Chain A
Amino acid sequence: MRTRIRLAAAAAVAAASLAVALPAGASGAAAVRPCTMNDVSFYFGGYSYGLGQRTFDLTLLAHDGITCSLSDTPLIKLAGPPSQKKKIPVSIDGRGGTLILRPNSPLHARFYYSIPDAPDHTVYVTTLTLSMPDKTSRATDFLYPGNTAVYSGGIHISSWTTGIGLGEGEQSF
């Protein structure tokens, strides 16, 4: 995979200090407010299980009647079991900029990771936390309850893409 890396820490700073610069609407529409976690839902889908690499989609949906904005690299945190000392490297594509989330305009990102080839090269991931610009957040199991073994190189997350990602049971090829 080509390397365009923005560390989660950098994204955290960006998200925390996000000054939403909305394009000047020619129609004079009301200003779009930054998304809070109560404005959105997210779900996983589109799992692919390659021999070495695995991927899945995370789709972000605005609730009915909600139009809100967020950084194109909203903060994503991954955590392992409490006993794990190793850090989980996370890289997120993105370069700053404003994304608008509407009920009819969802966004999705793709997660990539490799399966470990040896115990020494393994980190475990248990939870995923997604934070909004106002620092509200929601945590969920990473893929499914329990520990997911991941190559110690960590997780790469694509830039957020317009449109709905693959859903539960749908597979990418």
Chain B
Amino acid sequence: MSVFELRGRGRRRLAAVPVLAAAVSVALTTAAMASAGTPSATGSATANSGETVAAVAQQVQNGTLLRTHGTHRVCAHCDAEVVTTAKNSDRPLSSSQPAGYGPAGLASAYGLPSTSSSTATIAIIDAGVDGHLAADLATYRKEYGLPACTTANGCLHLENYTGGAQPAPQKSGEGAALEEDVAVETSLDVDMASAACGSCHIVEISVPWQDGEDDNDVSTGDFAKAVNTAVAAHASAVSISYGYSTDATNTRGSDLAAFQHKGVAITVSTGDSGFNGGIHQAWPSDLPTVIAVGGTTMPTAKSAKATAWYGAGSGCETDFRAATGQPAAVTALCKGHRAAADVSADADPNTGVAVYDTYAPSTGQPADWTIVGGTSASAPYIGGLFARAGHLSAVDGPNTLYAAPKADFTDVTSGNNEGAVNCTSYPGISKKLCNAGVGWDGPTGIGVPHGLGAF
């Protein structure tokens, strides 16, 4: 697979298709996208690193971007890694044109059908308020020929975590700085949901901005409330790209119950720190009724197949015997406990996705088009596929994924995530928790999607 998108200004774009209720059908074939924006070796636009956008795009395609660029974690509890201008730089790589993977490249990688007609709702939960969310989403979708998704046409809804209208964005101080940082995460989430299902509706739910940095029961309680709000808003899929400490409070009672909604696919990122160990995983990815989404590196010049991303979170959660529907053969790898991840998609910043974000109330330096990785990319993408396919009635955590035919996934059989912690540090834990191989493994779960059959 060697698809990537780069569009020079003035190139013909796919005509924007208005969102018109259930009748909408979005064509997203690779051929169509390529006709609207084939890779350009002569593109003259430059990124703020001084490189041409074409050169950056080539590095994404080759999986060599991080040879000369660094990454910056978007916020304390976000699972997004934005690519920076250089190693040891915190400045996001920015350009006037996208250079990362877009909807068509991802669709091609995962063998998705060319059309999408679902108008199911994907809920995205994020910290703080992104004052440019609607405008930035409009730019992203226009760039890739997706139908407009606005509050005016009823496609985009913005809600507070308790229901009702979102508060005004923070105007100054720490709140504004945090909301600027997190806007990259929020844009990533809605962009990936759009990439997975261009015809779906989106509800973006805001928890207080402090949840982006506080790790306690108040924060996790806010997310639990937000999930209930998403379900009340008739979401078919709910995506969370944040991780918190698992404790005795958030793994039982009302916080646990908030994640038990049969018929709603709740996808959660497994984190970007590689193998998380054999005891606890990040909350809420460890809960049995959520779909824990790991990460992969896209096929590159070096590897014709996707490989496990070294940062993809995996491990065991000893508070639970299993995820819903998780086979005994999988839980046995964790000595009879919930094993993560369940499924995966592109999360490597080296082969990162294109994100458009201009919200910069604190620094005044918008990211514009940038490149982002992390399991924050894969979780909303998988959530979007659930909403697009619409086979949700039996969904209860990852149970339907484990019950799906093997042919509905592409098994990822190489790579590992043992950068910081090794599986051998936990006696009795299988090496499969850290190393991709035939069948289920920790970093990539069952594998990456192959079509929509499993969703």
Contacts and interface: CB of A to CB of B under 8 A. Distances in A.
Interface string A100-141: 101011010000000000000000000000000000000000
Contacts of A100: 217, 248-249
User: A24, A26, A29, A162 — which one has the most chain B CB atoms within 10 A of its CB?
Assistant: A162
A97 B248 CA distance: 17
A98 B250 CA distance: 12
Contacts of A2: 173-174, 177
Contacts of A4: 173-175, 210
A22 B22 CA distance: 42
Interface string B193-224: 00000000000000010100111111011001
A71 to B, nearest CB: 10
Contacts of B208: 95
Given A2-B174, A3-B174, A4-B175, A104 B248 contact: yes
A99 B210 CA distance: 15
Interface string B222-255: 0010000000000000000000110111101111
Nearest to B257: A26
A23 interface: yes
Given A72-B218, A105-B248, A159 B255 contact: no
A83 interface: no
Nearest to B214: A159
A53 interface: no
Contacts of A72: 216-218
A163 interface: yes
B218 A26 contact: no
Contacts of B253: 23, 25-27, 29
B14 interface: no
B432 to A, nearest CB: 28
A162 B210 contact: no
Contacts of B177: 2
Main secondary structure of the interface of B (DSSP, over half): helix
A23 B228 CA distance: 13
A39 interface: no
Interface residues of B, number: 27
Nearest to B252: A27
Interface in A147-173: 159-163
B254 to A, nearest CB: 4
B217 A3 contact: no
B215 A161 contact: yes
A161 B256 contact: no
B218 A99 contact: yes
A27 B255 CA distance: 11
A163 B245 contact: yes
Given A95-B208, A162-B247, A23 B255 contact: yes
Nearest to B224: A23
Nearest to B210: A95
Q: Kindly list the 5 A-B residue pairs having the minimum CB-CB distance in the complex, ordered from nearest.
A: A97-B218, A2-B174, A26-B257, A105-B248, A23-B254
Given A159-B214, A162-B245, A162-B249, 8 more contacts: A2-B174, A72-B216, A96-B218, A97-B218, A98-B218, A161-B214, A162-B247, A163-B247
Interface of B: 173-175, 177, 208, 210, 213-218, 220-221, 224, 244-245, 247-250, 252-257
